[in-house]
Structure 1
Amino acid sequence: MPFVVTYPLQLALSRKPQWHRHLHTLNRYWSKLFIFMWGMPVETVRKSPLPAGQPCLYVANHSSYIDIPLLFRTIPGWLNIMGKLSLARVPVWGPIFGRAYITVDRDNAISRGRAMVQARRTLEAGRSVIIFPEGSISKKPGEEMGEFKDGAFQLAIAAGVPIVPITMPLNHRFMPDVDGLRVRYSPLAITLHEPIPTTGLTAADAPALRQRVYDIITSGFRPEAQGIPEPSHWRPSSAPAAPGTTPTPQAPQKQELASTNS
């Protein structure tokens, strides 16, 4: 509903780059309202103040469809975000995302290079960037992350901007990446860890920086949040009798709602 109500204005603001700042502000407000309307409490932890007067590269784990709205809700300022090219092909919302933010085909080297150039120019213009260094949603969200790609860390070093690791440990419990829509009541949480300066680092330091950020993000995972919620379904108390047969008498049973973590 928040998106549908604001869609005409978002579409208009997406048409000109000079209006994208206002589009992002609108996206932040509808993300806040979107999460509020689900009724999910959000625990927000900021380990230290964000660097003042300079852009940052925000590096987050990727586990759910709710990741982007939660990031937009939490991180202040005018942001850019790097997302997979298929997001720009989503009906209605996709063209807006494709005009306002960075899209990348991760299987195409030219597309990856172009996306990094866009991100570098964004940082140089004083606008922070969000990247999911796993490249896609984790196969075991909340438990382990996929291997990080080097691009984000080489980018931060080349641009001389600090990296802010972000942990979102519960998003997959609320809205996992599964076929169809599966939603469970689960409080959300997001932790912005202490910024890591990159001043004085060289490209040779990228692997160590990548591992450091990986370890920091996983330190915020919660063991009790591991695994994907099971689907809910109605389970009849007994199978129906075949046509022309007499059903076997059974003790009365209640129809059960088999729902794990619902």
Structure 2
Amino acid sequence: MSRKKASVLSYLYNAWCVGWLVVIFLALYPFIYVCIRVKKWNRYGTRLTNLWADIFFFISGLWVKTEYRFRPDRKARYIFVANHFSYLDVAVGMKVVRNYFSYMGKSSVKKVPLLGYMFARLHIQVDRGDKNSRVKSFKRSMNALREGRSLFIMPEGGILSDTIPVMKQPFKDGAFVLAIDSNTPIVPISFLNLYRIMPGSFVFRGFPRVIVHEPVYPQGKTADELKQEVYTIIQTELDRYAHRHSNH
């Protein structure tokens, strides 16, 4: 296959993915809107975003392969913690995590029409450059955990690593302080190859591979000890995958 033909097919595939992502979102948005306007229905808004991810990944052919070394109890609360190398990570997180949960993510998402409103109502925005925003986000996160909702946090604080697939260190404190203060287990998640499928803003055909690890319990540990334990769990699998596929 020529480079020109391959390039044309790649652009067509990206148009296909983006088109379906938008179409599915717009089709579900009226129902999501109703759910996020009524607080007691918020959890159904989260389920609809799960459905959005399910439909999108099926139609796009990006079939997610998840190894569950631990099956989270959907009625329990956890703090899910994952590496962050790709813009695809958030969408895959919606596919993999089936608990009622909130992302803790950048406040810049609120600028996106419709999606920003949904994110602001279902999830927790934080401006890491604003101390007041960080304090408010921490309080909202604690309230969410008290209500029985799980959290999903990428503690690198963004796509910041200069040595992918090695994670950026040190992790931000939030997830680990929240785990200790609320006595909530952390469930590490390794996104093994998403940075290869979507290394920037361009999507390539492939099967996203994910590992959901056994929980890490905060009892008797400091935030730094939790950080190191979670880092080691996630990074070990990233290293193994990179080593196995180093010639691919």
- Which interval holds the TM-score relative to the shorter structure? 0.7 to 0.9
Change in Cα spacing, 1:140 to 1:185, as seen in structure 2 (3 Å) is farther
Change in Cα spacing, 1:142 to 1:44, as seen in structure 2 (3 Å) is farther
1:165 maps onto 2:159 in alignment: no
CA contact (8 A) 2:83 2:167 kept: yes
- Map Cα deviations across residues 230-258 of structure 1 (whole Å, 9 max, x no partner): xxxxxxxxxxxxxxxxxxxxxxxxxxxxx
For 1:211, the equivalent position in structure 2 comes to 228
| Structure 2: gaps (5+ residues) | 1-22
1:183 maps onto 2:203 in alignment: yes
CA contact (8 A) 2:74 2:99 kept: no
- Map Cα deviations across residues 185-218 of structure 1 (whole Å, 9 max, x no partner): 12101111110111344xxx11111011111111
TM-score (ref. length: structure 2) = 0.83
Change in Cα spacing, 1:20 to 1:226, as seen in structure 2 (3 Å) is farther
1:155 maps onto 2:178 in alignment: yes
CA contact (8 A) 2:187 2:215 kept: yes
Q: Over aligned residue pairs, what C-alpha RMSD do you find?
A: 2.1
Larger Rg: 1
1:58 maps onto 2:80 in alignment: yes
Taking the aligned partners of 2:210 and 2:163, their CA distance within structure 1 comes to: 14
1:97 maps onto 2:116 in alignment: no
Shift of 1:53: 5.2
Shift of 1:8: 2.2
Taking the aligned partners of 1:90 and 1:225, their CA distance within structure 2 comes to: 38
TM-score (ref. length: structure 1) = 0.79
More displaced 10-residue stretch of structure 1: 102-111 or 92-101: 92-101
CA contact (8 A) 2:69 2:212 kept: yes
Whichever structure has more helix as a proportion of its residues is 2
Shift of 1:101: 0.8
- State which of 140, 160, 183 in structure 2 corresponds to 1:138: 160
Identical counterparts, % of pairs: 33
Shift of 1:52: 7.3
More displaced 10-residue stretch of structure 1: 140-149 or 110-119: 140-149
For 1:223, the equivalent position in structure 2 comes to 242
Partner SS for 1:197: coil
Taking the aligned partners of 2:190 and 2:101, their CA distance within structure 1 comes to: 18
1:193 maps onto 2:213 in alignment: yes
| Structure 1: gaps (5+ residues) | 228-260
